[in-house]
Structure 1
Amino acid sequence: MFSKKNIVLVISGGVAAYKAAIFARLLIKMDANVKVVMTSAATEFITAKTMAVLTNQPVLTDLFAEKTGESIDHITLADWADYFFVVPATANIIAKIANGVADDAASTVLAARHSPLIVVPAMNENMYLQPAIQRNLKQIKDDGDIVIDPVDGLLAEGYTGKGRLPEPNEILAYSELALYQKNGQLKGRHVVISAGGTVEAIDPVRYISNRSSGKMGYALARAAVEQGADVTLISATSQLPDPVGVRTIHIQSAQELSEQMFTALPHADVIIMAAAVSDYRMAQTAQNKIKKQDSGELNLTLVENPDILAQLGSAKTGQYLVGFAAETQNLMTYAQNKLKKKNADMLIANDVSKDQVGFGYDTNQVTILTKDKEPEMLPLQSKITLAREIMKKISIAINGQVEK
């Protein structure tokens, strides 16, 4: 979202100002252009020289400093910026933003802005919870700007409380999410997504599973919450970090997945079965590690797992049901049959025998099938880009819109 964008980073005077330097570097690594404005108090915690070196840009600290060839003023910055960040935001700068006060370089630049603003408070818990500060934060939100709440953690005073600045990568993740949600098409909707390859125990050491990484399901969860949905992710993997803003439930087996999906079904508007469910499980799991056999052979008795997608298709009562078909041959034949047989509203088919497609990759290429349209083949692209496209199509379908 911030790649190639012009970003003004306002730093106010708090001990968390050092994190603003790390945050600026994160933005620059994303190929953003960053210019910094600092309050006089901020320069007591981190120098303007540091920020100038990190960003390779002059830093504005004083509106009335002698003009040079590199001088920048508040109107120039406001016109240049695509996004504004205030990291960290002290009680003082928050009050100025909320009340339109412009009495120094930072507050004057902010008063002249006409692009999205993200404010990230950081202060002692006692200050943060003061009614006046909460009132000012509410005013900032009511004005249409974004506030990223502080987190619980160790404060400068030596005790734990709410008021700690989130880590720079968390600020970035929450900011992207909040900006996407402003125009979300799934607000008020509950989306339930399964992800990862289920694990079926053979004994306490070994298991049956598949190559699914869960990356596609996690990308869909992120894309759904970006659209403003209330998202529940039922995950069979522990190898990926839980997506920001998503309620994540971790499971292992197909039977556990089935239980969670049917618990969520009555309250869901959209169900997406992106998990790769193991077709079989042990008829009886061994209580102890199975030892090598003298015969050199080991026979396992397997029984079929429930067909969760088909069961959801039979049980749904108006929910929009999306399934996946990962195949290595006869893709369209199998996919068309699966769409009809499972009573899905949309089926996403991919040929996982192709390079850079499917399990484990960060990219995917799929064909989308629905009951009333011709199959649509989408190009090879990152899974998050693909997930956003899929979620857009789902939102159009459930909102009764016509795709342009």
Structure 2
Amino acid sequence: MSNSPGQDDADPRGRATRAASEFARYLRTETTGGIILLVATAIALLLANSGLADFYRAVRDTELGPEFLHLNLTVGTWAKDGLLALFFFVVGLELKRELVVGELSQLRKAALPVLAAIGGMIVPAVIALAVAWGEPGYEKAWAIPMATDIAFALGVLAVTASALPTGARVFLLSLAVVDDLGAILVIAIVFTAGFDLVAAAVAVAALALYAYLQHRRVRAWWLYVPLAVITWVAVHSTGIHATIAGVALGLLTRVRPDDGEERAPSVRLEHRLQPWSAGLAVPVFALFAAGISVNGEALGAVFTNPIPLAVMAGLVGGKLIGIFGASWLAVRLGLAGRPDGVYWRDIAALAVLGGVGFTVSLLIAELALPPDAAEEAKAAVLIASAFASLAAAALLLRRGRAHRLADDLST
């Protein structure tokens, strides 16, 4: 039988147990999603570099949908604007839960991952901007290495770091959630093409109605689904990237259960939608976004042109310097404390893992650059993410052995 909110408040152990259970479930889902995402990426690369390349691009560029409200989009754009809205809805749910009842709701615990995430966004952006300065597209390309991919990062962590303390995993998850919020703000502010006031008014009205229905404890899915579609179409028509609709709806969803209510709406929706997000939406997006040509000429461009070099420098070097540096500075200045049992070498390994940009970095590359330059930037994202994941895996395996040895010596 589930505890009521009052019982949880009175019993910190019960609340901690439920939080740990939620985290374990999230980790399992994202780990599976990371594997599916990796498979989808491999298929995309194989298709784009085989005799089926023309067929692959023809499918990706096929237009579907009515011209009304500019919804005659390509299959690739539907994956980017439509399916990723589901991914960002789940991110919004997780962010709301973390802010209200999770790790980010307690200032002392939230300070370290929040400051680490900020450092992990600012430093890569500054490095990328410095490397690419003056090149066509540098004005927006700096945003590409700012993101950390939750699915890939947690997948690597689950496979390689079972011996690390729970605090290390919670630190990475909280950091990635804040990182996603930063990416969402960048997408909303930097990549807004024009602004339609009428569509914005419709979007605001739809979101207000959603919030009102949540406040009134309405549970009719047949009201929420059309309302979510209306919100997405309206946000798409405003000129703001359509995935912002998903985030907004997630943030407006109720996260505290009422008396006698087994689970809050946000938890119910996460349980139902997260497998679809991690197992379908993100892999399909990767299937159409990661299909880039890999040959000598293309690889030569990646390692010689300033934009892809900026992306790789930002993800590989910038994330490590930003996350570790901000964490060290926050602890040194007394603004935050390290999680129990987590050492600086653990945080350094997690900072390297933060360089796995992937999903959101691929999205920003498509938004920031024209097609040819975007292809090079996406290749840089894939190369940097692969390097970061392999380097982090080696470091985390070593840290896991160190923690197991310490546990054996203490018993």
> TM-score, with normalisation over the residues of structure 2?
0.21
Q: Answer 1 or 2: which has greater helix percent.
A: 2
TM-score by length of 1: 0.22
